[in-house]
Amino acid sequence: MDKKSYNPYDNMLEVLDSAAAELGLDKQDYITLRTPDRELKVSLPIKMDDGHTEVFEGYRVQHSNILGPYKGGIRYHQDVNIDEVKALAAWMTIKCAVVNIPYGGGKGGIKVDARKLSEGEKKRLTQKFALAISPIVGPTKDIPAPDVGSTPQIMAWFMDAYSSQFHENIPGVVTGKPVEVFGSKGRGIATGYGIMYCFKKVLEKTGKKMSDVKVAVQGFGNVGSVSAKLISDLGAKVVACSNVTGAVYCKDGIDVAEFEKFLSDDKDRDVKEFKANGVEYMSNADLIVCDCDVLVPAALEDQINETNAKNVKAKIIVEGANGPTTVAADQILSDMGIVLVPDILANAGGVTVSYFEWVQNNQNFYWTEQEVISKLEHQMDEAFEEVWKTSTENKVSMRTAAYMVALNRLVTAKKYKGEFLS
Ligand code: GLU
């Protein structure tokens, strides 16, 4: 699909409006959720290693704080743009409401290919960004976190630069930090765990046997790699994995641990160098329509769209990425009887453990990984059950159902609050 014609924020509005209509809401009831509360664009001049100055563009969008401080990651990617960040911020509002954690939604981004920066340049860029958006962030205002292209190290630099203005450690300003600097055990694997729980649940609900299921996972970043590993540990067959260079496919299953080892030194290594019995190579576009039962798109937006949706062979989709499916594709998939566990539920494990990290920062008392993961499982299971029930009772897709669950919470809270904080 033509990249320019795809506007993720318009996509979000379409789903929001249709969920509101299902709930019988008047536009006035949720009008504040149709526009972000605040959009900040900043210029970030950085001295590069060779001495010249380059100016990068950064954003922080605060969509809604009806249910708590704005919350959401910071994306470092060359395609970052305001419509994308707005959509990602709104999805965070919905996501936090679906899993019932006391947060609103926000998102940030820097238009940069971080792979082309040295460690020093990345650090200076992050520090500049932290200070540039510091007037609107803070542990009770807006709490960033990692997203595509950003890492725990980047969160540590962010925390340090922000804190330096106040001459004390302020760990609660950002989540997804390394465990050694006020991070939470289990945060790095949390999104993957959440996806695995949703995967397990949706197989149960649709009566599928774990050992019969072939799974294709697109993307091998923090989300794709952990979910692929956990899903194969459950006994399902992972038949396809990919990175930016393309995909590997094997009908008898891929050894996910071997694939991980293969990418351990260079995550962008050409997948064609991965040799194993029966392995075929394909593009990321081919992976979306490959022969499998469950598809886990865990890379970027707009992967399943009007053009390829009708060719999808999977019967179940669990969205690891944010916004991998367009509204037009949603309709096609649902007409084909495909069950889709939406991003705002499936990948909510990350922000849920971000919440746990923030709670630990606030109370200055840290939990074991076991405690974190079992609390996460409980939160994900409850959210899944609620969305599933709403979906079956109202005969709507799980995406519409998730928006309905979220809208209900948001609109109710808004009614109690009144006019001021949106
Ligand atoms: N970037 C992740 C997401 O899209 C995590 C956000 C967070 O932990 O605040 O859900």
Q: Residues 222-252: pLDDT tens digits?
A: 999 999 999 999 999 999 999 999 999 999 9
Residue 217 Cα to ligand 1 midpoint, Å, equals 19
> Does residue 197 surpass a pLDDT of 50?
yes
Residue 311 Cα to ligand 1 midpoint, Å, equals 30
**pLDDT tens digit sequence for 65-99:** 999 999 999 999 999 999 999 999 999 999 999 99
The amino acid present at 258, given as its one-letter code, is E
> Does residue 317 surpass a pLDDT of 90?
yes
Distance of CA 355 to the CA centre of its chain: 14
Percentage helix, strand, coil, to 5, in the chain?
A: 50, 15, 35
Q: Atom 9 of ligand 1 has which residue's CA nearest to it?
A: 72
Strand residues in 67-174 grouped as ranges (E) = 70-71, 74-77, 105-111, 142-143
Task: Find the length of the chain.
Answer: 422
pLDDT bracket for residue 419 (50, 70, 90): confident
**pLDDT score recorded for residue 1:** 41
> Does residue 421 surpass a pLDDT of 90?
no
DSSP-assigned beta bridge partners for residue 215: 238, 294
**Average pLDDT, stretch 26-38?**
96
Token code pair at residue 217: 């996972």
> Does residue 5 surpass a pLDDT of 90?
no
The amino acid present at 183, given as its one-letter code, is G
Cβ–Cβ under 8 Å, residues 234 and 386: no
**pLDDT score recorded for residue 3:** 47
Residue 103 Cα to ligand 1 midpoint, Å, equals 12
Cβ-based neighbours of 204, under 8 Å, separated by 6 or more: none
Cβ–Cβ under 8 Å, residues 154 and 126: yes
**pLDDT score recorded for residue 322:** 95
Mean pLDDT over the full length of the chain: 96
Question: Whose CA is closest to 377, among 396, 398, 356, 393?
Answer: 356
**Average pLDDT, stretch 393-419?**
96
The amino acid present at 70, given as its one-letter code, is Y
Which atom of ligand 1 lies closest to the CA of 176? Answer: 8
**Average pLDDT, stretch 300-311?**
95
CA quadruple 102, 104, 110, 116: dihedral sign: positive
**pLDDT score recorded for residue 47:** 97
Residue 62 Cα to ligand 1 midpoint, Å, equals 14
Question: Whose CA is closest to 128, among 63, 48, 39?
Answer: 48
**pLDDT score recorded for residue 391:** 98
Return the residue matching tokens 């008392």.
Answer: 365
**pLDDT score recorded for residue 367:** 98
**pLDDT tens digit sequence for 205-220:** 999 999 999 999 999 9
* Residue of 96, 107, 147, 195 to mutate, ligand 1, most atoms within 8 A of C-beta: 147
**pLDDT score recorded for residue 274:** 97
> Does residue 295 surpass a pLDDT of 50?
yes
Q: Atom 8 of ligand 1 has which residue's CA nearest to it?
A: 351
> Does residue 144 surpass a pLDDT of 90?
yes
Return the residue matching tokens 């060779």.
Answer: 50
Which atom of ligand 1 lies closest to the CA of 347? Answer: 10
**pLDDT score recorded for residue 420:** 76
Q: Residues lining ligand 1, judged by CB closer than 6 Å?
A: 71-73, 145, 147, 175-176, 322, 347, 350-351, 354
**pLDDT score recorded for residue 6:** 83
> Does residue 2 surpass a pLDDT of 90?
no
CA distance 140 to 348: 20
The amino acid present at 197, given as its one-letter code, is Y
Question: Exposed (0-12), middle (13-18) or buried (19+): which is 39, by Cβ within 10 Å?
Answer: middle
* Residue of 354, 357, 360, 372 to mutate, ligand 1, most atoms within 8 A of C-beta: 354
